[in-house]
Amino acid sequence: MSTTTRTTPRASVPDARRVGGLAAANARLLVRNRLTLVDGVLLPLAPLVMLAVTADEPAAGASTVSLALLFAYLFPVFYNLLSVVVTRRDELVLKRLRTGETTDAELVLALALPGVVVAVLVAAVVVPVAVALGMPWPADLALYALMVVTACVMFVAFALWTASWTRNAEAAQLTSAPVLLLAVAGSVVALVPEGVAEVLQRTPGGALDTLVQLAWLGGGADGTWAQALQPLLVLLAWTALALLLAQRSMRWEPRA
């Protein structure tokens, strides 16, 4: 009856009370620290202001929406979670919580939840704001929602992976660079030669930018989903890669 030969316990459904209690504490910490409050809550709202200028021109308006979503993924979801995981890990908060009933999945969910809620709220609020300022209604809200949810999962996973090789909270300013570059690459597609643009469209940022344009302005004669297929596959592939990396590298306590 050796413990070593037994199987890993079955993954159980996350307990809502545990996740809720932990996420509430994480949300409280997010707004209590001025730096994380600015990065995680206020900064993602800034691009909404730009819509006042760009919304009367659909293409420019869609680009601004794309930028607003990018801010929402990068600050509350990616960067916030990265620094939260590193800080809580170094404070031994994660190690301590793992001695209790909380499962690893519940712990990750509770850490990511406050930032994801901010991102989803920004993604939701940007629609009526843009429409009120003169943009047309999004052509396909289902595609829009699918993209937002997938992007959140991807940036959560990227944050966990980046945290695994980030030594401390200060180092996150540097270690966040690779994912930041992958994310903003989409914003410069219009400015670079065609060959480079094709490569950039296969980055997470490139795929997301294309999907925002399609979800909002529609795909014309070919149909929105037909045109969305390729960027969706790109996004899903990056998400799968990020999840794999995160799962393999997750560390719960500081290196000895």
Partner 1 sequence: MPTTAQHVPSRQPSASQETPAVRVRGLRRTYGRGADAFDAVRGIDLDVARGSITALLGTNGAGKTSTLEVLEGINRPDGGTVEVLGLDPVGDRARVRRRIGVLLQTSGFSGDLTVEETLRMWAATVTGARPVAEALEMLDLTGRAATRVRSLSGGEVRRLDLACTLLGHPELVMLDEPTTGLDPESRREVWRLVRRLREDGCTVLLTTHYLEEAEALADRLEVMHAGLLVRSGTPAEIAAGHRSTISFRSLDPALGDRLAADLRLPARDVEVGAEAGTTSLRTPDLQPVLTDLLTWCREHDVHLEGLDARTASLEQVFLAIADGSAPA
Q: Is 209:191 a contact under the CB 8 Å cutoff?
A: no
| Cβ distance to partner 1 smaller for residue 32 or 248 | 32
Q: Other CB atoms closer than 10 Å to residue 13's CB: what's the count?
A: 8
Packing angle of the helix pair 16-32, 104-132 (nearest 10 deg) = 60
Q: Is 232:144 a contact under the CB 8 Å cutoff?
A: no
Binding mask 78-97 for partner 1 (x = CB under 8 A): ----------x--xxxxxxx
CA 141 from chain center: how many Å?
A: 19
Q: Is 217:59 a contact under the CB 8 Å cutoff?
A: yes
Residues that contact partner 1, how many (by CB under 8 A): 33
C-alpha angle 156/199/45, rounded to 5°? 40
Binding mask 14-53 for partner 1 (x = CB under 8 A): ---xx-xxx-xx--xx--xx--------------------
Among 99, 191, 195, 248, binds partner 1 (CB under 8 A): 99
Interaction of residue 102 with partner 1, rule CB under 8 A: yes
Among 3, 13, 35, 221, binds partner 1 (CB under 8 A): 3
- From CA 26, how far away is CA 43, in angstroms rounded? 18
Residue 108 CB, shortest distance to partner 1, in Å, is: 14
| Cβ distance to partner 1 smaller for residue 92 or 142 | 92
* Residue among 53, 56, 65 at smallest CA distance from 216: 65
- Binding span for partner 1 by CB under 8 A among 9-17, 115-123, 144-152, 166-174: 9-17
Residue 253 CB, shortest distance to partner 1, in Å, is: 9
Interaction of residue 181 with partner 1, rule CB under 8 A: no
- Binding span for partner 1 by CB under 8 A among 5-13, 167-175, 202-210, 243-251: 5-13
Interaction of residue 191 with partner 1, rule CB under 8 A: no
Residue 39 CB, shortest distance to partner 1, in Å, is: 15
DSSP secondary structure code for residue 255 in this structure: -
Q: Is 81:119 a contact under the CB 8 Å cutoff?
A: no
| Cβ distance to partner 1 smaller for residue 64 or 103 | 103
Burial (CB < 10 A; 0-12, 13-18, 19+), residue 80, is buried
Six token digits for residue 136? 């047309």
Q: Which residues make up the interface to partner 1 (CB under 8 A)? A: 1-4, 6-9, 12, 17-18, 20-22, 24-25, 28-29, 32-33, 88, 91-102
